[in-house]
Structure 1
Amino acid sequence: MSSEGWPPGHEKLVLEETDSTMMEAQRRAPSLGSPTWILAHRQTAGRGRRGRAWTDPAGNFAATLIQRMDEPPAKLALRSFVAALALRDALVELTHLPDAFALKWPNDVLLNGGKLSGILLESPGAGVLAIGIGVNLRASPEPEPGAAFPPVNLRSETGITLGPEQLLDSLAPAFARWDTRLRTYGFGPIRTAFLNGVARLGQPLIARTLTEEFRGTFETIDESGSLVLVTPEGRRAIPAADIFFP
């Protein structure tokens, strides 16, 4: 467990099996009291961004943090950066391999250049935020056609085997630490830390939205969390997109 211990005031629910931890969080939202981490050892209907299926082989990590938050949607969305920073910290703490992990805007953690994790934010009710996190600890799903990054898993890439509860016990205090920084100091320190660990800064990127494709140089992340590309048509701030490395 992290030296910081479990964050005060947070509950932990460990399930052997559920459809998805996000759906479990949605069911519990109406009666939610304290912030709660929900971990499942097996998901039967996991999902990712834009409704994509999230394959969850045995031994991988699947958890959702659900909590009440009285903040505007734009600030709630910044928790995607908080989650990615916390996950990287937890993985570095447990593996002692700081150079193996990189961040990909807006919220992925890469391992040796491959996709290790997925992070999904949803609001299952007014004033409630659910943050779902999946990590390939022991097995990788089959790559999707046209996937930007091949899925990788921690055990194959590093030879290190972590248990889901072991990761959760480091992730929860790491998330609480970064979340406190966001609440106290705003997005500035989060943005700086993310830029310090993000992949391909200053290099070419392709950003694809549902309707457009932008090609340019990854200049920065702005104060709202948008990706800033320098394109032949000028600087473009892109709030949401799928990222590809040429």
Structure 2
Amino acid sequence: MSADWPEGVARHVLDRVDSTNAEGFRLTAHPAWVLAVEQTAGRGRRGRIWSSPRGNFYGSHVSRPTGPADRAALRSFVAALSLRDALVAVTGLETAFTLKWPNDVLLNGGKLSGILLEGQGGLLAVGMGVNLIASPPAEAVEATTVRPTNLLAETGFRLTPEQLLARLAPAFAAREAQLAQGFDGIRHDFLAHAARVGERITARTMTASHTGIYRTVDDHGALVLDTEAGRITIPAADIFFADP
């Protein structure tokens, strides 16, 4: 482990697992990071399949958080910011990485990563998938979604999963410490790097679709939209950008 590895956090690097979140739940000691070279049943939000070719990053931070349940959900912002922190530290490309609410990291406007929070038995798994060397072809995703991209093709940086984890673990610990002081700092930093604030976007929930101007993120992490019907807050949704 590197000298910067956070104290008291275990590290498990495995060749092949079903999913790093599931493996994290099977561990007996937490907090811990689980990194897999390959996943056989990786998944994204709402049960979507997450393609997991070798060479990309598949990792989960698993812990037993204290405090209210809504505070646990705010770790999606911790994850997005810490992943951005790590990628900027490696590449030096400060303006290339932006954040799509609630927790996707974009690279030059393309989707670089996905983040999935899951809870089980008092444990919280924060799973992250990052396209380091490969990404799905554009025709494999919905036409209305953000185009997929990968770090190697977009920037020329070749980064191994282990190298990213070495940067990500301390960045995550630092953002966790920031969250412990309250959500205000995390919210401020997220908005400083958020994509499409002030622009027209569409938020689709399980039951409705809302289009409006993306104004901000509120004190609970909800999206704030100004629509033709007035200002609304949306705690969870899939976000779609209009053409630039």
Deviations 1:201-244 (A, max 9, x none): 11111000011000100011000000000001110000000001
Deviations 1:102-131 (A, max 9, x none): 0010000000101000000010212x1100
Q: CA deviation at 1:147?
A: 4.7
Q: Distance in 1 between matches of 2:30 and 2:237?
A: 33
Q: Distance in 1 between matches of 2:63 and 2:26?
A: 13
Matching of residues 65-80 of structure 1 within 5 Å: 65-80=61-76
2:128 match: 133
Q: Distance in 1 between matches of 2:59 and 2:186?
A: 22
2:15 match: 16
Mapped pair 1:181 → 2:156: no
SS at match of 1:224: coil
Instruction: Indicate how the Cα distance of structure 1 residues 147 and 165 shifts in structure 2: closer, same or farther if over 3 A, else same.
Output: farther
Matching of residues 20-99 of structure 1 within 5 Å: 20-28=19-27, 31=28, 33-99=29-95
Q: CA deviation at 1:34?
A: 3.1
Q: Distance in 2 between matches of 1:130 and 1:147?
A: 29
Q: Are the equivalent residues in 2 in contact too, given 1:57–1:141 (CA < 8 A)? A: no
Q: Are the equivalent residues in 2 in contact too, given 1:116–1:153 (CA < 8 A)? A: yes
Mapped pair 1:106 → 2:102: yes
Q: Which amino acid aligns with 2:191?
A: L
Q: Distance in 1 between matches of 2:161 and 2:241?
A: 30
Instruction: Indicate how the Cα distance of structure 1 residues 147 and 71 shifts in structure 2: closer, same or farther if over 3 A, else same.
Output: farther
Q: Distance in 2 between matches of 1:151 and 1:197?
A: 19
**What TM-score do the two structures reach when normalised by structure 2?**
0.96
Deviations 1:36-76 (A, max 9, x none): 00000111110010000000111000001101112211100
2:232 match: 236
Q: Distance in 1 between matches of 2:54 and 2:39?
A: 9
Q: Are the equivalent residues in 2 in contact too, given 1:203–1:217 (CA < 8 A)? A: yes
SS at match of 1:42: strand
Matching of residues 125-164 of structure 1 within 5 Å: 125-126=121-122, 128-142=123-137, 143-164=140-161
SS at match of 2:16: coil
Deviations 1:150-188 (A, max 9, x none): 1100000001100000000000000000110111x2000
Q: Are the equivalent residues in 2 in contact too, given 1:15–1:38 (CA < 8 A)? A: yes
Number of equivalenced pairs:
240
Q: Distance in 2 between matches of 1:147 and 1:137?
A: 23
Q: Are the equivalent residues in 2 in contact too, given 1:21–1:62 (CA < 8 A)? A: yes
Unmatched 5+ residue regions in structure 2?
A: none
Deviations 1:8-41 (A, max 9, x none): 110100001111111111222xx2x331000001
SS at match of 2:38: coil
Runs of 4 or more, structure 1, over 6 Å off, are: none
Mapped pair 1:226 → 2:222: yes
**What TM-score do the two structures reach when normalised by structure 1?**
0.95
Mapped pair 1:201 → 2:208: no
Structural RMSD (CA): 1.2
SS at match of 1:225: coil
